[in-house]
Each structure stands twice: as structure tokens, then as C-alpha cells.
Amino acid sequence: FPGMLSNPRLIPVQGTLNVVMNQNVTLSCLSDSGSPPVTYTLFKHNQKVSALTKPDMTPGLFNLTITSASDVGEYKCKAENNNSSGGKYSKSLNFTLQLHPSTLNFTTDPVSKPVLSSPTFQARKGQNVTLSCFSENGSLPITYVFFKGRQNISPPVKMQKREAAVIFLFINSSSDFGTYKCKAQNSFQNNTKYSNSFNFTLAEERHSYQPLVISFVLLLLLLVVGFALAIRFFIIPSYKASK
């Protein structure tokens, strides 16, 4: 059919699919046969990126800048003219992101000594409490681990933000009032920092028999007062009247 478009070819003008961050690249989309004008549309992950119309059978050129890992996804292009129905699509194209040598010379800061704390210093048996571990300095991510004595009581908690790692504990017995610590580490080699020690204090418990004792004392006091009033107003007048 005269003027019918062929499937376009999508190729990188620079000749390679290996790219580095912040690199400018150009993609060429061209149908070898068909009648102009031809509209070329570039897609990334089925999302339209750009479109242009060529009045002749020259390639459509799309300029891109690789600024993130998402920019190396799948690309396709579509060609349309007045004689095509629905357009013709190219084969997919994928870039490969490579680390530029300059990006390999990064530095990692070691973590600082973490601080272990809790909003609750006193606790009772049967109470839920929290512990937080925070290292103020150091390259992210930072991984925290909590201990009681020398035994770890939590899986590693990796924090991608400058925030404290928090765990929840249930005070079930006297052994839960032991010494707690945490440690922090990141990708800086041979650098693990341990926190200060933290101990919960057993809060004084009000025994259930205390209200009974108070009630008994009040009742006894009332009986004494009542007996004294009875003597004053009833027993003594009755004794005098009998004489």
C-alpha cells in the first residue's frame, strides 16, 4: 500500500545504551518507508514523553537527560501518518546505568554514640514500655540493634531517615528490669557504637489491702466516737436519774 508506514526503528544517536548519571542522550525514531508528514511520539513505560512531526522522511530526534535511575526504563516510539491506523510501534529500548568514576569517590561518615532512652523511667509489672535508640551523626542508613544484658531483644532495625529506632516491651517479671543497651552501625567499615545503659525502676505498687485498712480504722474511730457520745448523752443521764 503506497504511503503505508513501516515500523519505526528507535536507536541511540550516541551508539551505545550505556549511560551515566546526568548524561545527555539523543534517541532517533525513523520509519524507513511511508509518506510524510510523519508524527513521532516517544514513550517511557507507556507514558508519553514527547512528540514531533517531520515534514519529510528524516528521523525524529528526542533529547533526554539521565537524572535518576527511573530514566533508564523502557522506551518505545510510535510513527503515524495520514495513511496509518493506530500508528506503528518500534521495538523497546533500555539504557544501562553505569557508575561514573567520579561517583565512586564518596565518603561515609561513621555513626556517633547512640543514646538509649525511654519516656518511662518507672514501670510496674504488666506495663507496656518503649525504648528508643538514636545516633545523631553518621551516614544513612543506620542500623540499630537492642540488647538486654548481652542478649539481643530485637532484629536489626534499618533507618533510612534521621529518626530514632523504637521498640515496644512488656514488663512481665522482675528480670525485665535488667540493663538495656543498643548499638548503631552504618556502611562505614569497622565502626559500631554502643549506647549508654538504661534501667527501668520498679514503681511502688499500692497494695489492694490498703483501702481495707483505712476503712477499718475509720470504722473503729466512728465506733469509739459513737460509744463516747452514748456514754455522754445516754448512760450518764440514766445513771443519775436512777439515783
Give how far the C-alpha of residue 79 lies from the chain's centroid of Cα atoms, to the nearest Å.
43
Amino acid (1-letter code) at residue 228? A
What pLDDT is attached to residue 239? Answer: 61
Q: How many CB atoms lie within 10 A of CB 4?
A: 14
Considering the chain, what percentage of its residues have pLDDT values greater than 90?
A: 45
What pLDDT is attached to residue 100? Answer: 54
Q: Is residue 177's pLDDT more than 90?
A: no
What pLDDT is attached to residue 106? Answer: 47
Superfamily of domain 8-97: Immunoglobulins (2.60.40.10)
What pLDDT is attached to residue 205? Answer: 56
- Largest Cα span, the chain: 147
CATH class of this structure's domain 115-201: mainly beta
Q: Is residue 55's pLDDT more than 60?
A: yes
- Start-end ranges of CATH 2.60.40.10 in the chain? 8-97, 115-201
CA distance 36 to 60: 12
Stated pTM of the model: 0.44
CA distance 91 to 74: 10
DSSP 91-118: PPEE-EEE--GGGG----PPPPPPEEE-
Q: What is the pLDDT of residues 76-86, one digit of tens each?
A: 999 999 887 78
Q: Is residue 65's pLDDT more than 50?
A: yes
Amino acid (1-letter code) at residue 56? D
Q: Is residue 15's pLDDT more than 90?
A: no
